[in-house]
Amino acid sequence: MAHEVRGVVAAAKGAPVTIEKVMVPDPGPGEALVDVLACGVCHTDLHYREGGINDDFPFLLGHEAAGRVAAVGEGVTDVSPGDFVVLNWRAVCGQCRACRRGRPQYCFATHNATQKMTLEDGTVLSPALGIGAFAEKTLVAAGQCTPVSQRADPAVVGLLGCGVMAGLGASMLTGNVGPGDSVAVFGCGGVGDAAIAGARLAGATTIVAVDLDDRKLQLARQFGATHTVNGSTEDAVEGVRAATGGYGADVCVEAVGHPKVLEQAFFARDLAGTVVQVGVPTPDMQFPDIPMIEFFGRGGALKPSWYGDCLPSRDFPLLVDLYLQGRLPLDRFVSERIGLDGVEEAFHKMERGEVLRSVVVL
């Protein structure tokens, strides 16, 4: 039996999203049906709507979500109906080369539901990042459900499903930030502020926030930035150097996705420092023109960070616990709570830089 629910659909490139009737099948083998409780609005949803990811319209948007498992299909043993879960887009396969070598966070054969959600007329929907959670119910692979503490607010912890995890992981996992490190974060939106919070949690003592907008720099301080640099009024590289005793930062996190910013992050490092690229570039961007001798001579590492190199089953429950203990200000990422009909306006607020995250609450 299929369930008829309301969902936010992007029907065509650039067209405003609409609320449509979505048919969600009962879970088959290895699948879980989830009652969505909350779902954050992410830049990636907008990228789908703009045709920047692929052309598989229509899309069922939404992917930073928490919910309650309503039913599971045959053979599912890891989650049960009633479990409170954060959804993820890294349900690892356990069998590919990366998984077998004990590095499941690099799995490239991750699972999604096999059955399709459709419009009322049978048109197959493409769920954003294999989730599609701007809907009252969604169908995912059971491995996409990570049970976390029932005490947590779904609007807050759902954000771990994508952008906030990417930022936290950029510092804590990819950048391997440790006690006493200095960290500079370029771009202080949701992902960048999460990288700042992650750096603080990992013990960094100097955390430099770099942005072009004073409002964002102010907010960055609330997440743990100890210094701020406004790149529109001062040289970003010099600003980071000044904040780190003239050395440059041990870890520079690029959270914008722009060659110019990557170049700044590259030169703002101390010798043997690490650049973490977590901002997502567009396909037309080129690597900055940096003399190769500078790459060699400065040592260190340049590391792209995909989903913060997280392993949801390991990282989500622990980060939720840290939030509940008051050690990670996850709730500060929630700028506003909206309904399904507020997604289009939330895209505009995001583009204007007015919100860290608008969260749809169901």
* Site of interaction with Zn ion (CB under 5 A): 42, 44, 92-93, 96, 99, 107, 109, 162-163
Q: Which is nearer to Zn ion, 274 or 277 (CB)?
A: 277
Cis amide linkage into residue 312, ω under 30° from 0: no
**Shortest separation between residue 266's beta carbon and Zn ion, angstroms:** 26
Q: Which is nearer to Zn ion, 99 or 139 (CB)?
A: 99
**Shortest separation between residue 46's beta carbon and Zn ion, angstroms:** 10
Q: Which is nearer to Zn ion, 162 or 251 (CB)?
A: 162
**Shortest separation between residue 84's beta carbon and Zn ion, angstroms:** 20
**Shortest separation between residue 13's beta carbon and Zn ion, angstroms:** 19
User: How many CA atoms lie less than 13 Å away from 280 in the CB half-sphere?
Assistant: 15
Q: Which is nearer to Zn ion, 163 or 342 (CB)?
A: 163
**Shortest separation between residue 358's beta carbon and Zn ion, angstroms:** 13
Percent helix, percent strand, percent coil in the chain, to nearest 5 = 35, 30, 40
Determine how β-strand 206-211 pairs with β-strand 182-186: parallel
Q: Which is nearer to Zn ion, 42 or 72 (CB)?
A: 42
Q: What is the largest CA-CA distance in the chain?
A: 65
- How crowded is residue 179: how many other Cβ atoms within 10 Å of its Cβ? 8
Strands across the sheet with 126-127, in order? Answer: 118-119, 18-25, 2-10, 59-60, 126-127
**Burial of 27: CB neighbours in 10 Å, binned 0-12, 13-18, 19+:** buried
